[in-house]
Amino acid sequence: MAIAVISAALPGLIFAGSAAGCTCLPATPSESLERADAAIVGRLIAVEPRGPARADYRYRVLRVYRGAGEIDAGTVISVLSGRDSAGCGLPNRLQRRYGLFLAGDGSGRWASSLCGVTTPRRMWRAARGFRGNLVC
């Protein structure tokens, strides 16, 4: 269900022009964690443009909170998102650590948006209080 909802909404976010603006539905980190296909803390190491409106954001995975087995700590993953914050693109400050809630397509490809970003501390707190199947 989460994949269907995010899959339906994400293309609109990724291909939105910079004039569209970014609006996120209110959700706590715990709610976002419950809906995500994967949740990690990663360090942004590169941003590779993929056309005028989207980019691949490459993260070195520091911690996996959800999606273990599909994502391993220490690996580098690529996350598709918009290119700028107006189009809900992920933050682009290299070497910064981010908590990310991810949508997957089942083939190892990941997507997210500005709405799926939190601090590493908030991710940890959400995982501590979560009763689902998580790796902590």
Q: What is the CATH number of the domain that holds 26?
A: 2.40.50.120
The whole-model pTM stands at: 0.80
Distant-in-sequence, close-in-space partners of 91: CB < 8 Å, separation ≥ 6: 44, 85, 98, 114, 117
pLDDT of 119-135, one tens digit each?
A: 999 999 999 877 655 55
In a domain, 40, yes or no: yes
Q: Is 136 part of a structural domain of the chain?
A: no
The reply to whether 52 falls in a domain is: yes
Per-residue pLDDT of 60-73, as tens digits, reads: 999 999 988 899 99
The answer to whether position 134 is within a domain reads no
Rg of the chain taking only CA atoms, in angstroms: 14
The domain total for the chain is: 1
The 10 Å Cβ neighbour count of residue 109 is: 14
- Residue 126: name the closest of 100, 105, 106 by CA: 100
Note whether residue 90 is domain-resident: yes
Which domain covers residue 82, as residue numbers?
2-129
Residue 13 resides in a domain = yes
